[in-house]
Amino acid sequence: MIQHIILSLISTFYLRCVYAAVPHWKIPGAQEHIVKLGDATDKATYLAALKQRFQLPSEAILFDYDPNFINAFAVRIDSGSRDALDQILSDVTNVQYVIDDASLQPDGLTYTQKDAPAFLARMSSRDSFLHSSTYIYPGTAGEGVDVYVVDSGVNIGHTEFRTWSRVSRAKCGFSVTSDKNCDDLNGHGTSVASLAAGNSFGIAKNANIIAIKIRGDDNLATLAREVAGMAYIYATAPSTRRPSIVTYSMRTVFGDGSNEPPLLLDVLTGIGIHFINSAGNSGKRLADAYCGELPFITVGALDTDDAQAGFSNYGPCVKFWARGEGIKTAWISNSNDVKDNLSGTSFATPLVAGVAALILGKSDSLQLTPPGSPPNAKRNIAEKGTMPPRTLITELQKGAYAMDGYWKNEPITYMIPQAPRM
């Protein structure tokens, strides 16, 4: 009885609720965590109070590290004991930071997202029914890659884009609105951004998101505004010396089945910017012109059975396919808002952009320069960790995806480089 009272008093001191947040390096779905305590916190007392308050079994403490090495412990907290993790993450007095555990594989670090949305789990499965709730991705996760979302803006404060230190990976790059902010009043751009690089719904969870808002004060996007946004990317991306991807789901650059020249694509891809575009939702065959001449990627939508979605445009220029039906994404009402059951090639496209970011994020050994480029080309973006657009397309066609915990170079069956079955 006395021991129980003492532990209760200790629990009150060590585990009091503090309305702040401990830095958390988060992996969605993780149940095992490394908790680093402050140097002044007595770990034995803290652990005793934690187990007593939340009825954690002794086996939940996976490792009690030597405090002379690191004042930390590893703990497993299942879905029924999430209050314990919430308490740890709120205890800024005693906890320095929390890192979710990750698997280490012979070919590098990989992360596993359990209970992932079906469309995301599909992206790391060879078979459509394999790992249906598990998404596996490389530890680099697109780090150091910039993804330009040319769209309606982005909800930059959404939790989907926050790092472990609560800083957003998303920022406003350019806006056509009078106040020059990138607030998303439509939701489309936020959805696209979260699929390319969101924490829960995205492929490349460490990539940077740069919002290019081409919807004006009248909530309309026009060709002139599109050109203005692309001009901003052309002017600023090369100076970053980082791999740069444009994911563009507002329209297909081919127009509605015409032979319209893809405006500006030769300029952007010519300086090493990777352009990934939605095929469109008219259920029509796109024009054949230009797709063999310019190194950009057009993405069609698959349904939940891996067949071509009925609304998706198609044709020889549509070389990549990804899920575009029944998609869940971030939304715009608040910092935690989500939207269910979206469909369209708009949402297949950023999934492919995310895979491209994964490849570029792992491409330090592919320090390539486009053929014929002068040695000191001022506007050439290709430097360390980047590759020319045509090389990226080859890498995507060759394939690079996570399978059974390993990042492998094998054909991508979820982004089929030929027409899917009808």
131 is catalytic: no
Annotated catalytic residue: which of 188, 249, 343, 363? Answer: 188
**Are 173 and 182 spatial neighbours (Cβ–Cβ below 8 Å)?**
yes
Q: What are phi and psi of 111, to 5 degrees?
A: -115, 150
Per-residue buried b or exposed e for 66-103, using 16+ beta carbons within 10 Å of the residue's own CB: eeeeebbbbbbbeeebeebbebbbbbeebbebbbbbbe
Annotated catalytic residue: which of 124, 312, 343, 346? Answer: 346
For 26, 83, 132, 144, 186, the CA distances from 147, given in Å and listed in that order, are: 21, 35, 27, 10, 20
Cα angle value 415/137/322 (rounded, 5°) = 20
160 class by beta-carbon count within 10 Å (0-12 exposed, 13-18 middle, 19+ buried) = buried
346 is catalytic: yes
**CA-based Rg of the chain, rounded to a whole angstrom?**
23
Annotated catalytic residue: which of 151, 249, 312, 363? Answer: 151
Four-point Cα dihedral 404, 147, 331, 280, nearest 10: -90
Q: Catalytic residue positions?
A: 151, 188, 346
